[in-house]
Amino acid sequence: MNAASTIITLPVLLPLLGAAVSVVFARSAMLQRVVGIVVLAAVAALAAVLLVMADTSGPVVASLGGWAAPVGIALVADRLSALLLLVSSLVTLAVLVYAIDQRIADYGRGTASTTFHPMYLMLSAGVSLAYLTGDLFTLFVAFEVMLTASYVLISRRTSATRVRAGMTYVTVSLMSSLLFLTAIALVYAATGTVNLADLAGRMDALPGELRTVLGLMLLVVFGIKAAIVPLHFWLPDSYPNAPGPVAALFAGLLTKVGFYALLRTQTLLFSRDEPWMLMLVLAVATMLVGALGALAQNDLNRLLSFLLVSHIGFMLFGLAVFDPEGVGGAALYAAHHITVLATLFLVSGLITRRTGTVALDQMGGLARTAPGLAVLFAIPAMTLAGLPPTAGFVAKLALLEAGVGVGNAAVAVAAVVMVASLLTLVALVRVWVRVFWGEPRPPLPDDDPDDEVVVGTAATAAPMYAATAGLVAVSLAIAVFAGPLTEITDRAGTDLLDRGPYRVAVLGGAP
Amino acid sequence: MTDPDDRADRAGSADADGGGVASTWDGPSQPWLLNGDCRGRQHRSLLLEITTRAVFPTVLVFSVYLLLVGHYGPGGGFSAGLVAGLAFVLRHIAGGGGDLGTGRVVRPPTVFGTGMAVAVLSALLPLAFGLGVLESAKLGVTLPVLGTIEVQTSLLLEVGVYLLIVGVVLELLRSLGTGIERDLDEAGEQPES
């Protein structure tokens, strides 16, 4: 009990402690860097331990303060949350290394920041808590911790136009938080509990209409956070305006935490027996709007943002199928999506750093001037497009296999998945042709010299490339270990739909 | 812009009130009026400054009381921190931004950083005694005059929260209060009357 309670709370408490230390010693740049990297590496190690524990002996549960669920707050790590926590913490670590190195390259070794490191670790604590909590209200708190830190990260040291773009993000996020809080109040009024495992039983007893209303409210809440079409509009306007590593962090983690919450609540609280038609429609809309939107962009980061939205649709498809393979496939796709999108945004940061612009029609010839960068872009691009033998292919295959077994509507959506993959490939090939082929061009001057990120400089530090390459390696590892990973996510999918192990682990005794 | 006459006026009043009186044994050791840098003469209120001077320590003591009774009664680290923060807000209103700057020895981020560290460590402390995270225990302390006092170990967490909130309020006063006044001054705007 104690060992488990320690291991499961530390991924939340360590980043908080790290954030506190970073604030107190805000003048020691070196200490901040060491604390950040050590803390996030520790979280990744703990997540790996949790994944092994959850996979071998069922969900790991800790009751905070010794108050057992449903009275107290429970932290739960089952296969799904441990896997996503592991992937997320690896991405967070790599992006931090990249960000630290960018700051060293641009501002020198001695420059400390009072906000960046603490807020980065706060965000990481919020993400860990969101994955691990077994309580609807604590999920809200986790989202708030995460979002509040992200408001600071998106708007610090930046220009008026970018603050304007950040405002969209803040307003939409606050709107969804308000709705989330309302939904929690209604859920509590209807059932008298906010413990997810306890709710799983009590929701079944509610009248069908009430369940539908609560389910749809939570769908809208997490739909905004996960950028489901038509609630995605804020994302391509705000993410591209964040500094490179911050955009990579947001693209990798925030929408997936939203999707995780959607997956968790819909499977645990609103279980259903057949494919979910509404979600199938939303999946189609998300895939197509995202992919077609990406084709129309000239801004590299906006293009990637639309592709991000498009591939959220793939995960929705897995959820819509609502069978163990589908849900497991969605979990695997989420793990792959976290890594690949963060990598692509980091690569985009490196490209912009060299060319001084995000406009595709003003770049060219990078394959000749920066062949390493070309390789770093090509691998995640192929992964996102889902070409064999990459992780994207494995994850997409798992989704398609799940889809073809459950009826005509799902088969039709599976066809849309193929179309969206093709459109993704077209969009990325367009980037490849514009950016990496053609005549090399001299870098454009930094049009915004006061902001966080210096661009248009040839000075790139090797660790920035190493961090990006590390993420590419994580993505390749997902492909290499596709066998065991698919087995874990399949078992995760079975658990999610069965609900039994989760409830027994949290509540104990009779499910 | 601050009126130069205003500065001279204030310096004079501080002198008259506090400068020379420290020589007598029962004289106040500090000037009674706050020594802050107020943006405009019309922003100063003698009544408010004197009241603040009298009320400030009382409010701080009250906040500590709230912190201590919080386990069984209304109060706790959060509300106690807010009450203490309000005491500083009062000083800010009465004495201007400069008042909080003059006597300060720690930066606000250090205060709330320490608070957060204390809170997190107090969550982890029970592990050292074989308990779960965030578990608390009741400690009995026998003091000579007061008798036995029972203390919940969760008080440590409350102290962390208290420091966190006080630090955040001070930081808000620094960044949004004094910072905006300074920006206005730099922009050359006259204070509103």
Question: Which chain B residue has its CA at the smallest distance from A8's CA?
Answer: B133
Nearest to B173 by CA among B67, B98, B79: B98
Contact flag A1-B132 (C-beta cutoff 8 Å)? yes
**Contact across the interface for B132 and A23, Cβ inside 8 Å:** no
What is the predicted pLDDT for the residue at A451?
67
The predicted structure's pLDDT at residue B100: 62
CA nearest to B135 within chain A: A65
Closest C-alpha among A444, A476, A371, A468 to residue A101: A468
| Surface of B (41-100) touching A: CB under 8 A | none
pLDDT at B34: 57
Question: Can you tell me which residue has the tokens 């997409």?
Answer: A396
CB contact under 8 A, A114 and B112: no
* Token pair recorded at residue A400: 């398609």
CA atoms of A155 and A243, how far apart (whole Å): 9
Dihedral angle computed from the Cα positions of residues A475, A478, A479 and A482, in that order, rounded to the nearest 10 degrees: -170
Count of A-B CB contacts under 8 Å = 62
Instruction: Please judge whether B132 and A65 are an interchain contact, meaning their C-beta atoms are less than 8 angstroms apart.
Output: yes
Q: What is the pLDDT of residue A419?
A: 95
Of the candidates A249, A251, A253, A258, the one whose C-alpha atom is nearest the C-alpha of residue A228 is A258
Q: Which residues of A touch B136 (CB under 8 A)?
A: 65
For A292, other C-beta atoms within 10 Å of its C-beta total 14
User: Among A184-188, A276-280, B79-83, B148-152, where is mean pLDDT lowest?
Assistant: B148-152
Cβ–Cβ of A20/B124 closer than 8 Å?
Answer: no
DSSP A351-416: HHHHHS--BGGG---HHHH-HHHHHHHHHHHHHHHT-TTSHHHHHHHHHHHHHHTS-HHHHHHHHH
CA distance B139 to chain A (A): 16
Residue B19 has pLDDT above 60, yes or no: no
Q: Name which of B110, B116, B168 to mutate to probe chain A: the one with the most chain A Cβ atoms within 10 A of its Cβ.
A: B116
Q: Using one digit for the tens of pLDDT, what is the confidence trace for A31-84?
A: 999 999 999 999 999 999 999 999 998 899 988 887 887 888 999 999 999 999
Helix axes B108-124 and B154-172, enclosed angle (nearest 10): 160
Q: What confidence score (pLDDT) does residue A283 get?
A: 95
Check A114 against B109: CB less than 8 A apart. Answer: yes
Q: Measured between beta carbons, which residues in chain A are less than 8 angstroms from residue B114?
A: 20, 24
As a whole number of angstroms, the distance between CA A21 and CA B112 comes to 10
Q: Which residues of A touch B (CB under 8 A)?
A: 1-2, 5-6, 9, 13, 16-17, 19-24, 26, 62-66, 114, 118
Q: Residue A137: what residue type?
A: F
Of A16-20, B30-34, B176-180, the poorest mean pLDDT is in B30-34
The pLDDT of residue B28 is: 61
In chain B, the residue whose alpha carbon lies closest to the alpha carbon of A13 is: B120
Chain B: closest CA distance from residue A375 (Å): 42
B131 interface with A at CB cutoff 8 Å: yes
User: CB–CB of A97/A37 below 8 Å?
Assistant: yes
Contact A16 B110 (CB under 8 A): no
Q: Does the pLDDT of residue B159 top 50, yes or no?
A: yes
Q: Among A499-503, B7-11, B104-108, which is the least confidently predicted range? A: B7-11
Report the pLDDT value the prediction gives residue B4, as an integer from 0 to 100: 41
Closest chain B residue to A12 measured between Cα atoms? B120
Q: Across the interface, do A24 and B110 touch by the CB < 8 Å criterion?
A: yes
From A21, A66, A114, residue closest to B132, measured CB to CB: A66
Q: B110 at the A interface (CB within 8 A)? A: yes
> Which of A358, A363, A373 is closest to A464 using CA atoms?
A373
CB contact under 8 A, B109 and A24: yes
Spatial CA neighbour of B67 closest among B50, B55, B85, B49? B85
**Which chain B residues have a beta carbon less than 8 Å from that of A6?**
127, 133
Q: Is B133's CB within 8 Å of A20's CB? A: no
Per-residue model confidence (pLDDT) at position B1: 38
Chain B residues in contact with A5 (beta carbon < 8 A):
132-133
Q: How far apart are CA A4 and CA A6, in angstroms?
A: 5
pLDDT at residue B17 in the model: 41
B124 interaction partners in chain A (CB closer than 8 Å): 13
Q: Do A9 and B136 touch (CB under 8 A)?
A: no
Say how many domains are in chain A: 1
All residue ranges of chain A with pLDDT < 50 are 510-511
The residue among A39, A92, A234, A263 whose CA lies nearest residue A151 is: A234
CA atoms within 13 A on the CB side of A76: 30
pLDDT at position B6, please? 40
Report the SS3 class of residue B142.
strand
Q: Which domain holds residue A151?
A: 2-507
Side chain identity, residue A207: P
